[in-house]
Amino acid sequence: MIRILEANEFSEDASSQVNVLDQVKRIFAKDGDLEKTLGFEFRAEQAEMAQAYARSLTAGKHLIFEAGTGVGKSLAYLIPSILYSRLHRRKCVVATNTINLQEQLLEKDLPTVRDLFIRAEGLEIMADFTCALLVGRANYLCQNRLNKALMGQVDLFEANQRNELQRIAEWVATGPREGIRQELFPSPNPLVWDLVNADSSVCSSKRCSPENCFYRKARSLVESADLVIINHSLLFSLIGAGFVPNDEGAGILFADDFLVFDEAHEITDVASDHLGISLSSWALETQLRQLYNPKKQKGLLSKIARESDLDVWENANLAIRDFFQYLHIEVLGERDRVRLVNVGALPMEIFPPFSRLLRCLVELTELVKDEHLRLELRDQVKRVQAYLNDLAEVVEQKDENCVYWLERGGRSNQIIYMRSAPLEIASVLREEIFNKDSSVLMTSATISRKGSAQFFRDQVGAENADESIVSSPFDYQNQMNVRICHDCPEPQSSNRGHYLDYLTKAIDGVARSLEGGTLVLFTNYSDLRYCHEQLKPGWQKLQRSIYAQGSQYSRSELRKRVIEEGDVLLLGAESFWKGFDAKGSCISQVVITRLPFENPSHPLLEAKGEILQAEKRSSFQEITLPSAIMRFRQGVGRLIRSKTDVGELVILDSRILNKKYGKDFISELPCKDFESTCLLDLIGC
Q: What is the pLDDT of residues 221-234, one digit of tens each?
A: 999 999 999 999 99
Q: pLDDT value at position 243?
A: 74
Q: pLDDT value at position 408?
A: 93
Q: Is 227 exposed, middle or buried (0-12, 13-18, 19+ CB in 10 A)?
A: buried
Are domains 273-422 and 476-683 of this chain identical in fold?
no
Predicted confidence (pLDDT) at residue 92 exceeds the cutoff of 60: yes
Taking the C-alpha atoms of residue 354 and residue 351, their distance in angstroms, rounded to an integer, is: 5
- Pick the range with the lowest mean pLDDT from 28-32, 286-290, 350-354: 286-290
Predicted confidence (pLDDT) at residue 535 exceeds the cutoff of 50: yes
Q: What is the DSSP letter of 132?
A: E
Are 641 and 582 in contact by the 8 Å Cβ rule? The answer is yes
Domain 12-130+225-257+438-470 CATH class label: alpha beta
Angle at 608 (CA atoms; ends 603, 610), nearest 5 degrees = 95
Taking the C-alpha atoms of residue 359 and residue 295, their distance in angstroms, rounded to an integer, is: 24
Express each pLDDT in 144-189 by its tens digit: 888 888 876 555 667 778 889 999 999 988 877 789 998 888 889 8
Give me the residue spans of the domains in the chain: 12-130+225-257+438-470, 137-214, 273-422, 476-683
Closest residue by Cα to residue 72 from 103, 108, 36: 108
Q: pLDDT value at position 103?
A: 87
CA distances from 98 to 26, 64, 229, 234, 552 (A): 31, 20, 11, 12, 20
Q: Is 17 exposed, middle or buried (0-12, 13-18, 19+ CB in 10 A)?
A: exposed
pTM, entire model: 0.89
Within 8 A by CB and 6+ apart from 280, the residues are 409, 415, 416, 417, 418
Are 651 and 633 in contact by the 8 Å Cβ rule? The answer is no
Taking the C-alpha atoms of residue 166 and residue 152, their distance in angstroms, rounded to an integer, is: 14
Express each pLDDT in 648-664 by its tens digit: 999 999 999 999 999 99
- The answer regarding whether domain 476-683 maps to CATH 1.20.1560.10 reads no
> What are 95's strand-pairing partners?
230, 261
Angle between helices 73-88 and 110-119 in degrees, nearest 10: 60
Predicted confidence (pLDDT) at residue 237 exceeds the cutoff of 80: yes
Taking the C-alpha atoms of residue 576 and residue 275, their distance in angstroms, rounded to an integer, is: 24
Is residue 247 very low, low, confident or very high in pLDDT (cuts 50, 70, 90)? Answer: low
Closest residue by Cα to residue 188 from 130, 146, 245, 247: 146
**Percent of the chain at pLDDT exceeding 90:** 72
Taking the C-alpha atoms of residue 195 and residue 241, their distance in angstroms, rounded to an integer, is: 22
Tell me the mean pLDDT in the region 78-92: 96
Are 215 and 202 in contact by the 8 Å Cβ rule? The answer is no
Q: Is 267 exposed, middle or buried (0-12, 13-18, 19+ CB in 10 A)?
A: buried
Tell me the mean pLDDT in the region 351-372: 94
CATH of domain 273-422: 1.10.275
CA distances from 178 to 141, 171, 208, 213 (A): 9, 12, 16, 10
Tell me the mean pLDDT in the region 558-584: 91
Express each pLDDT in 2-60 by its tens digit: 344 444 444 444 444 458 999 999 999 999 999 999 999 999 999 999 999 999 999 99
Are 162 and 196 in contact by the 8 Å Cβ rule? The answer is no
Tell me the mean pLDDT in the region 560-581: 92
Express each pLDDT in 606-634 by its tens digit: 999 999 999 999 999 999 999 999 999 99
Within 8 A by CB and 6+ apart from 563, the residues are 582, 584, 586
Taking the C-alpha atoms of residue 394 and residue 279, their distance in angstroms, rounded to an integer, is: 9
- Pick the range with the lowest mean pLDDT from 143-157, 417-431, 498-512: 143-157
Taking the C-alpha atoms of residue 126 and residue 402, their distance in angstroms, rounded to an integer, is: 46
* Average pLDDT of the chain, as a whole number: 91
Tell me the mean pLDDT in the region 334-359: 95
**φ and ψ of 255, to 5 deg:** -60, 125
Q: pLDDT value at position 15?
A: 44
Q: How many CB atoms lie within 10 A of CB 509?
A: 17
Taking the C-alpha atoms of residue 572 and residue 519, their distance in angstroms, rounded to an integer, is: 7
Express each pLDDT in 103-137 by its tens digit: 899 999 999 999 999 999 989 999 999 999 888 99
Tell me the mean pLDDT in the region 394-420: 92
Predicted confidence (pLDDT) at residue 297 exceeds the cutoff of 90: no
Taking the C-alpha atoms of residue 458 and residue 172, their distance in angstroms, rounded to an integer, is: 48
